Amino acid sequence: MNISTFIYVFTLVFTLWLPVIDALSTNMTKNLKVLVSSNDFPDSAVALLEEHFTVLKSRYINFGEEGLNENKQELLNLIPGCSALIWVSHHQITKELLDKAGPQLKIVSTASAGYNNCNLPELKARGIKLTNTPDVLSAAVGEIAVSLMIAAARRFTENLDQVRRGEWEIGFQKVLGQDLRGSTVGIVGFGGIGQATAKRLAGFEVGKFIYTGHNEKPQAKEFNAQLVPLDELLAESDFILLSAPLTDETRHMINKTTLAKMKKNAIVVNVGRGDLINQDDLYDALKNNQIYAAGLDVTTPEPLPKDHKLFTLSNLFVLPHIGSATVRTRNDMAILAANNVINALYGKPLLTPVRL
């Protein structure tokens, strides 16, 4: 048999056996269990996982009181023997849950960009990999960031109250707001969300973009954005966007001291995490008109109690953490989270790993 014939025969045999090999591989991975922490994880991603593994899914939502009570207990019952955990929640991953899982747990795949609730020290100590879902939600969160800027600048809280009361303040100088046109927008956290927001603001004729961070971003050139120290950003910005991750360094970065460095017409918008802001200090600054307004998609806690003092302010506009809440974005996040699990359990490179 010459070499050409051998290659032809080998290729033919391999092609015929490939479906069999794939089937055997799939049957082997069906023994692996994947736990989905919340009952509202998209069906499209569950179906993708079920092609490869045995999927267990909580009957309860993993948010709010239900997540802390019924869901928590069910997860403790379901997780023993699982090889992967898809975390769909703003609640903390507890040491108790990881202890219950056992040593075969290989990966936690969180369906979110942030991962401050994922107990990084415990995951690292146990050799468990962690992934998140950045970038796929940047466009949707950027849209909410722009919406909050407009809502706070144009005094939506006051104006909506007028409409509901049927008592409109009519006059040439009544309820005047601030312009995005010609303004300086300072972005704290010029990653995917910060850049997506800048891209969407371009059509509003913003005067200048500045940002702060540890390093210059090559993408900043697209927006003529300039890297500046935080103090300079606070002093110059008309709009201050918080889109940074929550770390020990960024926790309560907006506080009495930093608020005092802002312009009187400054508007603070937070689409990152609630604890980027000391809310007591923000309340004082808004109540005393030390800054102009604020728009929040994230708070501490979530949900914010309906009798919270922040809701007494007319220069604050609050949304219930809906930054990524579109059909397309949530589905994309779920599919990415599922594919990270598939890659991890097949020994392939992770798509969006978190460095522990």
Per-residue CA distances from 84 to 17, 78, 109, 218 (Å) = 30, 12, 8, 36
Tell me which of 52, 90, 91, 321 is the catalytic residue: 321
Query: Both ends of the chain: CA-CA distance in Å?
Result: 54
User: How do the residues of the chain divide into helix, strand and coil, expressed in percent and rounded to 5?
Assistant: 45, 15, 45
* Cβ(36)–Cβ(46) below 8 Å: yes
Q: Which residues pair with 129 in a beta bridge?
A: 107
DSSP E strands, the chain = 33-36, 54-57, 84-87, 107-110, 129-131, 184-188, 208-212, 226-227, 239-242, 267-270, 293-296, 316-318
Active site (annotated) includes residue 321: yes
CA dihedral 257, 237, 243, 223 (to 10 degrees): -150
Catalytically annotated residues? 321
